[in-house]
Amino acid sequence: MLEIIIKHTPDCMKAFLYVSDAVGGPYPTEAQLLLALKEHGIVHGIDADVLRGMHERLVCNTNVEVAKGTAPQAGAAGRMEILVDVSSKGKPRKLADGRVDHRDISYVMNITKATPLVRHIPPVPGVPGATVFNKPILPPPAPDVPFVAGKGAIVSPDDPNVFIADITGAVVLHTDGKIEVVNTKVVSGNIDYSTGNIRFSGNLRVTGTVRAGFEIDVEGDCQIGGNVEDAKIISGGEVEINGGAMGSVKGGITCGGGVKVRHIANFNVQSGDAIRITEDALHCTLSAEGVISAKNLVGGTIAAWKSVEAEAIGTEAEPKTIIDLGGRSVLMQRKYLLLKELTGITGQVGAVKESLYFLTRDEMDPAGALSGDALCRLDEMKKKYRLHREKCSQVQMEIEALDERINHSPIPSVKAQTVYPNTVLKFGTVEKIIREKLTHARITVDGENIVIGNY
């Protein structure tokens, strides 16, 4: 009988038969080929049709794949299911005649004690695989999410996987999935020297004005009854300003939710949702992950991940107004800076590794021991190395998150009754300058191209 040679890949996921005619003899039967595999320990994933084909065609001097292992199937990760209906949050109120009132938007969600907040869905284990030798291959463990009660939340007495509200208050949804119920703090009057800077873990309502030079930092929503001068507001939720925001180079608003303001000038605004301006925005830098809407957008840079809606963009006086479609330019600039930072950190990691090598090479005695001073320096180097590696990992994760947003962001658009000359449209590295006045303009993108049309 011809010689049968059996081989397998290093990971034992594939097996091959090789029939050599070097010594002569009859070709092995299908049963003999199968027996040779089993004697070699290969018992899983054997393809009987392939063995039959080898015998029928008398295949010789060729490696033929005859068995394949089964890859493990990953399980489902644990997750958190929000049980509070937040669908109406941040949406304009519908009027009786069918119209919507964009000036009346609910930014605070109040709930009562014992309301179910979030349910923990445990992870589902994966399915093991097997090599051609029928050795089990365990699937990767299904990750879980931390199930920790936020402020104002407790475990439900009826279900250990559900958190309920422990107090009556306002819901705060964090980007990491944590949900809290917080009380609202009211400041009657202005934020000025009588109050100092305000930092609060819940929602904040100020009946007066936020004076120039002061700061507000809240984890929940922030409502300002008056104006915001050249001040800074940081909010984990929504920001609503009944008056206007007038700044210079120091005024800024950063929030995880949406922003609603009557008018705004010389301000830097970064919003995790929509920016809705009832009147005009003058010479501002606005960045929103949702829609940016205003009566007039004049000067500055406007970056909206979804859409920009305005009656007019720019003015006859032709100040430069930059519209960053989809915020792509902002994201790419951030990615460039992160890549530059990553290069520097990688160089630092390499330098520390080199120092570790020289320390152990030059100062280790013949018995393999280091002096006390050398051990201290070694520990410091190891600590620095770990810190650099952790920072490197954090920057890489942020770059990956930016790539995900760049590659999967919605198609951006601009809708305006009038777009004046000297308006600059940007989409990533593509730039187009408006030379003539546009009316009823609808601007979007097609691939990497900026497309100007009408509505």
* 151 and 217 share one domain: no
Distance of CA 96 to the CA centre of its chain: 39
* 361 and 320 share one domain: no
Assess if residue 429 is contained within a domain: no
Assess if residue 190 is contained within a domain: yes
Per-residue model confidence (pLDDT) at position 265: 95
* 207 and 302 share one domain: yes
* 193 and 153 share one domain: no
Assess if residue 434 is contained within a domain: no
What distance in Å separates the CA atoms of residue 448 and residue 431, rounded to the nearest whole number?
10
Which string of b and e fits 50-65 if b means at least 16 CB within 10 Å?
Answer: bbeebbeeebeeeebe
Which residues, 6 or more positions from 397, have their beta carbon under 8 angstroms from its beta carbon? none
Per-residue model confidence (pLDDT) at position 98: 58
- In Å, what is the CA distance from 197 to each residue of 145, 185, 186, 191, 235? 35, 14, 14, 7, 14
**Phi, psi of 277, deg, nearest 5:** -115, 120
Closest CA to 148 of 236, 218, 78, 238: 78
pTM over 0.75: no
Bridge partners of 296, per DSSP, are: 280, 312
* 282 and 351 share one domain: no
Report yes or no: 286 and 275 within 8 Å, Cβ to Cβ. Answer: yes
Assess if residue 133 is contained within a domain: no
Report yes or no: 247 and 267 within 8 Å, Cβ to Cβ. Answer: yes
* 175 and 186 share one domain: no
Among 116, 151, 179, which residue terminates a domain? 179
Assess if residue 164 is contained within a domain: yes
Residue type, 383: K
Give the number of other Cβ atoms within 10 Å of residue 438's Cβ.
Answer: 21
* 194 and 175 share one domain: no
Residue 304 belongs to what domain range?
A: 182-326
* 229 and 260 share one domain: yes
Assess if residue 388 is contained within a domain: yes
Closest CA to 327 of 277, 269, 281: 269
What distance in Å separates the CA atoms of residue 403 and residue 392, rounded to the nearest whole number?
17
* 111 and 217 share one domain: no
Domain count, the chain: 4
438-442, long-range: CB < 8 A, 24+ apart: 441/414, 441/415, 441/416, 441/417, 442/413, 442/414, 442/415
Per-residue model confidence (pLDDT) at position 295: 96
Per-residue model confidence (pLDDT) at position 112: 80
Per-residue model confidence (pLDDT) at position 398: 87
Task: For the chain, list residues with pLDDT below 50.
Answer: 90, 93, 101-108
Among 391, 408, 425, which residue terminates a domain? 408
Assess if residue 165 is contained within a domain: yes
Among 265, 296, 326, which residue terminates a domain? 326
Give the number of other Cβ atoms within 10 Å of residue 115's Cβ.
Answer: 15
Q: What is the 3-state secondary structure (H, E, C) of the chain?
A: CCEEEEEECCCCCEEEEEEECCCCCCCCCHHHHHHHHHHCCCCCCECHHHHHHHHHHCCCCCCEEEEECECCECCECCEEEECCCCCCCCCEEECCCCCEEEEEECCCCEECCCCEEEEEECCECCECEECCCCCEECCCCCCCCCCCCCCCEEECCCCCCEEEECCCEEEEECCCCCEEEECEEEECCCECCCCCCEEECCEEEECCCECCCCEEEECCCEEECCCECCCEEEECCCEEEEEEEECCCCCEEEECCCEEEEEEECCEEEECCCEEECCEEEEEEEEECCEEEEEEEEEEEEEECCEEEEEEECCCCCCCEEEEECCHHHHHHHHHHHHHHHHHHHHHHHHHHHHHHHHHHHHCCCCCCCCHHHHHHHHHHHHHHHHHHHHHHHHHHHHHHHHHHHHHCCCCEEEEEEECCCEEEEECCEEEECCCCEEEEEEEEECCEEEEEEC
- In Å, what is the CA distance from 370 to each residue of 363, 384, 386? 6, 19, 21
* 205 and 297 share one domain: yes
Angle between helix 30-39 and 48-57 (nearest 10): 130
Assess if residue 154 is contained within a domain: yes
* 317 and 197 share one domain: yes
Per-residue model confidence (pLDDT) at position 110: 62
What distance in Å separates the CA atoms of residue 453 and residue 444, rounded to the nearest whole number?
8
* 314 and 214 share one domain: yes
